[in-house]
Amino acid sequence: MGTQGIRPLVAGNWKMNGSRAMAASLVAEIRTLAAAGPASVDLLVCPPFPYIPEVGGGLAGSAIALGGQDCHMAAAGAHTGDVSAAMLADLGCSHVILGHSERRADHGESSLLVAAKAKAAIDAGLTAIVCVGETEAERDAGKAENIVEKQIIESVPAGANSSNLVIAYEPVWAIGTGRTPSVADVAAMHRHIRSLVADRGPVRVLYGGSVKPANAAELMAVAEVNGALVGGASLKAADFMAIAAGAAVSA
């Protein structure tokens, strides 16, 4: 794990996938496997908004946390189609993913908007998982660390600290592509991120981007990697828990 004293977190981002039946079945299987799985890793499930109650009910009484995939910057108001952080908290969520590259690209979200959302999440008592990451062109141009540094400076609000903030580094070119950066590249970026948030306490810094059972242990063993934000592999309970096992081995 690299950073002593930081308990790993493995978070599943279901994205826009599933049905009520699938959500109920998947969460039941995750819960069953987690009961026999590593106790040294925290687990988080982030389903689509409509299935949060379904998944929350399935997780009730377990140690597995529940999260949302986005929230609005306002606490309430005339924002048709949006969901507030307070609503997520009311449904039992403890975390919310913010600034994912798919939202930055598909919805034009700026880092300043992400910071406003993160502040709203923290004000509502949630932990904000702030996502950062460079495109392939930015990495090829040698700008990866500068891009991520700018995103962190602009996306993390004042007052955020290790009790309410998680950083997820997801190189955009690795998300859903099956490609991953080298271990050396991941280590270098996580060291850089750690230096940027050092004054905020022992913040968890997760790696994301085509994390799967086959590469989980190697990636989780990288210095300063404190767990994973898992996309496609979180839709299969066995794969999700295999990744958690990889994080536990490296802890």
Known binding-site residue numbers for substrate? 13-15, 176, 210, 231-232
Distance of CA 160 to the CA centre of its chain: 16
Annotated binding-site positions: 13-15, 176, 210, 231-232
Token look-up 């946390």 returns: 65
Dist CA 156 CA 189 (whole Å): 17
Q: Which tokens hold the place of 68?
A: 């949302």
Sheet strands (E) in 156-234? 165-169, 204-208, 227-230
Note every long-range contact of 139-147, with CB atoms under 8 Å and residues 24 or more positions apart, other chains counting.
Answer: 139/171, 139/173, 144/171, 144/189, 145/188, 145/189, 145/192
- Do 116 and 75 touch, CB atoms closer than 8 A? no
Catalytic annotation, residues: 100, 170
Q: How far is CA 120 from CA 13, 127, 205, 225, in A?
A: 20, 10, 21, 26
Q: How far is CA 203 from CA 60, 103, 117, 145, 165, in A?
A: 27, 23, 18, 18, 7
Dist CA 200 CA 157 (whole Å): 11
